Each structure stands twice: as C-alpha cells, then as structure tokens.
Amino acid sequence: MEDTYKTITEPSEGIYTEKRSKFIAIALPVRTHEEIKAHLETYQKKYYDARHVCYAYMLGHERTDFRANDNGEPSGTAGKPILGQINSNELTDILIIVVRYFGGIKLGTSGLIVAYKAAAAEAIATATIVEKTVDDEVTLLFEYPFMNDVMRIVKEEEPEILQQSYDMDCSMTLRIRRSMMPRLRARLEKVETARILEEE
C-alpha cells in the first residue's frame, strides 16, 4: 500500500536558453485548483510581455489529478514535456510554469520539447524535495473508565492526537500513517465500550 509521496517545500526557479529564446521555469508547491489558478494569474500578469506561459500540474498522492497546457505552442511541445519531468521525478502537489521569451529564431517542435523539458528539469533540480506520508484519521468514542486502555494503545502506536475531550463520554481523534491505521483501529476496537465514528 503506497502511503508516501514526494513534493516540493517552496518555490524554485530554473532558466534555459536556446537560440536566444529564454525559458524561465517556476516550480510551486500547491494543494488545490484554487491555488493553481491564483498562481497562473499572478505569473501571467508578471510575465505579460512573454510569448507563452505554459504549465503542467499534478495534485494528490494518487497522482491522478493532472493537466498540461501548451498555451499556444504547437500541441504536445510544452505542457507534456513539463508534465513528463513531474512524472519522472514522481512528484505531486506541484505546479510548474514555464515562461518563454521568443528570441526570433524558431526552434521547431523537437527543439521546443527539449527546451521545455530542460527548463522544467532545471526548476526541479533547484527545488527542495521532501517525502511525506499519507495519513488517515480516526475518531474514537469511549467511556471514561477505559481511558487508561486507550492511552496505552496511543502510547504504543504513537498516532498524533488531533482532538480529545474527557467527560463521562470521551472522544479522541487520532492521525496516523495509512499503512499503520488497520492495526491501530483493530486495537482500539477491542477496548470495552469503544466505538469508532465512521466518516460520512
């Protein structure tokens, strides 16, 4: 079960020049489509005088939410090579924008593919890549007398405690790495009076 993924921690840049055309690549950490849209608007304004502002992104640890955009370059010569670099580095939650300033000499489709790929690779090379775990959460309800049983499991399994409240009826929300969740749940379910709240 895949429960880790790789992403970048902060924005990074790379520059590639070919026959006086300049390609500026910006790699950005993103989590949502809203963030992507905001970044694209910012960089399109910032580089308003550029010939093309192409991009590709990948979202989510399953790496199934992605898009490549050629922004007026010949089909498949810009967005796809950028996305190719994201994929070959197995990254997600990332947006790479490549801005092209035309230098007056046409590069041809193969030249464009090489240039966009190289610019994206440059931005990734200067980025700080981290591996993160995919975590799941579980909320447990139990009666106060069984607090010690629950706390013993928490101490041994070491999930992160997100929320806890202690009355006659107690509740606790825990977060743990996905691959460790089945064991944690199985142990919690054995505690007397305990019941796990199922997500809607």
- Shared domain for 115 and 22, answered yes or no, is yes
Q: What is the pLDDT of residues 16-65, one digit of tens each?
A: 999 999 999 999 999 999 999 999 999 999 999 998 999 999 999 888 89
Q: Give the mean model confidence (pLDDT) for residues 93-114.
A: 94
* Dist CA 52 CA 44 (whole Å): 9
pTM for this entry: 0.81
Tell me the percentage of the chain whose pLDDT exceeds 70: 98
User: Is residue 200 scored above 80 in pLDDT?
Assistant: no
**Amino acid 1: pLDDT:** 52
- Shared domain for 184 and 99, answered yes or no, is no
- Shared domain for 58 and 113, answered yes or no, is yes
Concatenating the DSSP letter of every residue in 15-44 gives EEEETTEEEEEEEEE--SHHHHHHHHHHHH
**Amino acid 96: pLDDT:** 98
User: Is residue 199 scored above 70 in pLDDT?
Assistant: no
Q: Give the mean model confidence (pLDDT) for residues 151-161.
A: 95
- Shared domain for 154 and 124, answered yes or no, is no
Concatenating the DSSP letter of every residue in 41-108 gives HHHHHHTTTSSEEEEEEEETTTT-EEEEE-TTSSTTSSHHHHHHHHHHTTB-SEEEEEEEE--SS--H
- Shared domain for 102 and 193, answered yes or no, is no
- Shared domain for 139 and 123, answered yes or no, is no
- Shared domain for 128 and 141, answered yes or no, is no
Number of domains in the chain: 2
- Shared domain for 172 and 113, answered yes or no, is no
- Shared domain for 90 and 164, answered yes or no, is no
Q: Give the mean model confidence (pLDDT) for residues 73-78.
A: 95
User: Is residue 85 scored above 90 in pLDDT?
Assistant: yes
Which CATH number does the domain housing residue 32 bear? Answer: 3.30.230.30
- Shared domain for 34 and 124, answered yes or no, is yes
Which CATH number does the domain housing residue 162 bear? Answer: 3.30.70.1150
User: Is residue 114 scored above 90 in pLDDT?
Assistant: yes
- Shared domain for 76 and 9, answered yes or no, is yes
- Name the residue range of residue 161's domain: 134-197
Strand pairing report for 169-177 and 135-143? antiparallel
User: Is residue 148 scored above 50 in pLDDT?
Assistant: yes
- Shared domain for 121 and 25, answered yes or no, is yes
